Amino acid sequence: MNKSFLIFFTLGAIGLMVFAIYKSVYGEVAINSIEQSSLQIQSPTSVPISDTLAYRFFMDYHKSDSSEGSEGLLKNDNAAITQFYLDDAKIIEPLRQKAASLGKEFIGLSAVLGYNKVLDSHTIIWVAVVDADSGHDVVPELMLPKSNEKWDSYIYDYTGSCPKDCPQNSEMLWNQNWRE
């Protein structure tokens, strides 16, 4: 065989092994980091994770190779919910505008788990989170009615949930690396 081919092949194989080790170690390091940080009392934050770790979290919840066999606890008509959809124009922006109309600074959303007996479906109730302090410190507070108020436009239950309202490529979630 050609000597340069063997050298190139060997270097390529070593590079591939290093990448595979990096991916598996990075996934484990991220899991340990997330588990350790969840033990400390702190404000909730989102952290970027690898596709490998995201796939592991997804599969640990569903425990299935397909949406039909999902063992997910959240159900819609007795079928496991794969995901929830949060629409910017129909939920986020109206809540942002409602907070502004009350003179409050919109800083995020809170997802509150719920169950709709009429539809036999788990749901998420979306509530705006606003800054309760007008000073320099941000003090998160749910934008909820006071005891003497009744609201019908501050809390949303518009959540497109799978399997009924899935984006077209939702079955890709069951691919091992979430890529075709």
Strand duo 79-80 + 75-76: pairing: antiparallel
- The domain limits of the chain are 1-62, 73-167
Question: Is the predicted pLDDT of residue 132 greater than 60, yes or no?
Answer: yes
Cut 0.75: pTM above it: no
pLDDT of residue 22: 60
Residues 15-19: contacts with CB under 8 Å, at least 24 apart? none
Rounded Cα distance, 104 and 143, in Å = 9
> For the segment 134-171, what is each residue's pLDDT rounded down to a tens digit?
778 889 999 988 788 877 777 888 777 776 777 888 88
> For the segment 32-79, what is each residue's pLDDT rounded down to a tens digit?
555 555 444 455 677 888 888 888 899 999 998 888 888 888 888 888
For range 5-21, the mean pLDDT: 58
